[in-house]
Structure 1
Amino acid sequence: MTAAYLVAARRTGVAPRNGAFKAVEADELGEAPIRAVLSDCGIAPDAIDDVIFGNALYGGGNPVRLAALRAGLPDRVPALTIDSQCCGGLDAIMMAADRVTSGGADAVIAGGVESFSRAPLRARRPRHAGEAPQPYDRPPFAPWPERDPDMIAAAAVLAETFGISRTRQDAFAIASHRKAIENPPGSGEIVPLAGLSRDAFPRALTEALCSRLPPIAGDEVSGVTRATVAVEADAAAALLVVSETMLRRLNVGRPLRIMAATRCGDDPAMPGAAPIRAAKKLLAGQRVAPEAIAVAEIMEAFAAQAIACAEGIGVASSALNRSGGGLARGHPIGASGAILAVRLWHEMQKEEPGALGLAAIAAAGGLGSALLVTI
């Protein structure tokens, strides 16, 4: 069985819903980072064996096939869009690595794309004449309504369950924005698109401002506010996953070897905690201590969820989300896991050989995914 390597990683900036990308379709978002990773590695489009992206809101139609064709990949290159909600972008990288390590492919572009701004309107078809279509915001994530909570309400329950105060959540959000401002991603990471060449949302949050915000779920002690919930956003990210054979053909500087990756399920009534199980399983399988992780990119859909995951996994605060996270950027659901991997790739370029990196993300329905790499 061959190893799998990440050799290029690019993304668009992240723009809040109805912001810079409000008129950009999902496949147009996906085109930009695909072209960039091809260019970064000097790999010919006809050397790509497959394209796999996560997406949650498009409404069908395999948008990554459109993005791949827009990016100039030959008609013969297949494309697959997967939906595991927030985990989709990271799961796509796992699937690409599986294709490579099994010998089924030498070069796969993997990532994620999401457009809240251009997502289709959703409605259930009438069951009989005279009934109107029934609009809905999201599909069910569990078959039992009592175990399928609203995500914001679930975050407030998680905060109460794990004993994470509102004060700690506020401080975490403030730090996320501060890190994003002080250590912004470089031009080698973000592909300019529609006039945006950075993440649009980071701002100088203050304790005074956060303390004035009323809870949108939960109570004053551990409830969540608009500062501690990631905003809906648009973005795309792509990474090139290759075999050892392809690696030797390419002129790349410091590839990351994918050591292991895993997915797991947990209680759908408590979404957000599953990455703890996934990451612990991953680290135990590789006999890696959490404190050995040099770089950790953990999704910040909610401050409470990110705190619970980081502490539950046991990563050092100095390794965590060095350029901020989803609270500072925004949350383009199906792309968020891939953005974590792109961030991980670029932060790992600063590390010494042998350093370890981890990406982890939770999804609605009690899902969690984690990826372990080394340089």
Structure 2
Amino acid sequence: MTVYITNAKRTPVGVKDGIFSTIEAAHLAAPVIKTLADCSAVPPDEVILGNVTGPGGNIARLSALLAGLPQSVPGFTVDRQCSSGLEAIRLGAALVASGEAQHVIAGGCESSSTSLRPEKAVFSPQSIGDPEMGIAAEWLAEREEISRKDQDDYAVLSYRRFAESIAAARFTHEIVPVGGCSVDEAALKKRPIERMAPRAKSAFQPGGTVTALNASAFNDAACAVFMTSVEAPGMKVIASAASGADPNFPAASPVPAIEKLLMKTGLSVSDIDVWEINEAFAVKIIYTARKLGIPFEKINPDGGGLALGHPYGASGAMLVLRLFYGMQQRNERFGIAAVGSAGGIGVAMLFERV
């Protein structure tokens, strides 16, 4: 059965201890779910949310109840680290495609501000290696000879594209206001990134190449999409793939997932009009682009996580949202969303504009 995405919404993205400093993850997700449900003639059969640093429990079910959905609508929560939001959409699509559900709301939410988990979880046995994400990004940069300038130049590009998107009001129709806030916190700050990037200090090791400006921040946000088996304008889910990789180089993990996805569909890199790849680190995008031969012009054309932010559980869903609106605005056919996660796991999904 064919799966269609007919709507996508998100909250503004807040910085840790910023505009959403006291709003818990479920209370960020609830307005998004309510908005998507209100736009549909029927309630969803399931709510699926990704979440990484929340308080435990079942945030998807809690969020659905807070949104006022009928108590008959269940919910379940996914943790695949940074891939969680994309994985939630992938699972929702599988339910619809199999006929187990007709309508699904899926996405993710994160509140770094209210998280009770300040320490890093264990993602891999020490016998294999389980580095901090920033250190792992440094290792990939060193192994692949990706310089500090390469990373800074890409960060400047991401910030510039984000600023252009704000100026063109490209995000206006996708944002659900929360707590009186309707604008991304990053958009409220004037940052002369071209001057700041070369002056930024190494963030994770002395003399390193990864800084606070070519790596993402800690953020708060929620994002979800409405999926259905009923044909409608928007996007069609074509295929998806997940793949494991070396846990010591998690920033490299989108590549095997994308390769697996392209092999499954018989498409080549040149067939894809636009790529949304999570910008946890600039080095991740540079590595993926070089390895697969993707031109930067086709990657994150509205800016990405370096500028906007990286609310872990929601980030994968935000990639799908960007494709949903961006491919319509630019009249593109095929788009891929891809994320690399802690522990060395990549997830990728292919969509076609309808």
TM-score (norm 1): 0.89
Q: Structure 2: how far apart are the matches of 1:93 and 1:313? A: 24
Secondary structure of 1:350's aligned partner: helix
Secondary structure of 1:349's aligned partner: helix
Larger Rg belongs to: 1
Contact in 1 for aligned 2:34/2:69 (Cα 8 Å): no
Q: Structure 1: how far apart are the matches of 2:329 and 2:337? A: 16
Among 170, 182, 205, the alignment partner of 2:164 is: 182
Partner of 2:153: 171
Q: Structure 2: how far apart are the matches of 1:57 and 1:119? A: 6
Matches within 5 A, 1:210-229: 210-218=197-205, 220=207, 223-229=209-215
- Which deviates further from its counterpart, 20-29 or 309-318? 309-318
Q: Cα offset for 1:314?
A: 2.8
Among 214, 225, 231, the alignment partner of 1:239 is: 225
Secondary structure of 2:49's aligned partner: strand
Among 28, 38, 44, the alignment partner of 2:42 is: 44
Secondary structure of 1:20's aligned partner: coil
Partner of 2:102: 106
Q: Structure 1: how far apart are the matches of 2:109 and 2:261? A: 26
Question: Structure 1 residues 208 and 186, CA, compared in 2 at 3 Å: closer, same or farther?
Answer: closer
The CA deviation string for residues 74-119 of structure 1, in whole angstroms up to 9 with x for no partner, is: 1111100011110000000010011011111100100000000111
Q: Structure 1: how far apart are the matches of 2:307 and 2:205? A: 22
- Name the amino acid aligned to 1:266: A
Partner of 1:285: 264
Secondary structure of 2:251's aligned partner: coil
Contact in 1 for aligned 2:334/2:352 (Cα 8 Å): yes
Q: Unaligned 5+ residue runs, structure 1?
A: 123-135
Percent of residue pairs bearing the same amino acid type = 39
Q: Structure 1: how far apart are the matches of 2:147 and 2:342? A: 22
The CA deviation string for residues 237-285 of structure 1, in whole angstroms up to 9 with x for no partner, is: 0101111xx33xxxx5x22111101111101111111110101111122
Among 175, 184, 193, the alignment partner of 2:178 is: 193
Matches within 5 A, 1:75-114: 75-114=71-110
Q: Unaligned 5+ residue runs, structure 2?
A: none
The CA deviation string for residues 196-223 of structure 1, in whole angstroms up to 9 with x for no partner, is: 2122125444333211112123564x61
Number of residue pairs matched by the alignment: 348
Secondary structure of 1:191's aligned partner: coil
Partner of 1:306: 285
Q: Cα offset for 1:317?
A: 1.9
Q: Structure 1: how far apart are the matches of 2:337 and 2:128? A: 30
What's the RMSD between the two structures over aligned residues? 1.6
- Name the amino acid aligned to 1:37: L
Contact in 2 for aligned 1:152/1:217 (Cα 8 Å): yes
Secondary structure of 2:72's aligned partner: coil
The CA deviation string for residues 125-179 of structure 1, in whole angstroms up to 9 with x for no partner, is: xxxxxxxxxxx60210002266000111111111111111100111111111111
Q: Structure 2: how far apart are the matches of 1:211 and 1:284? A: 39
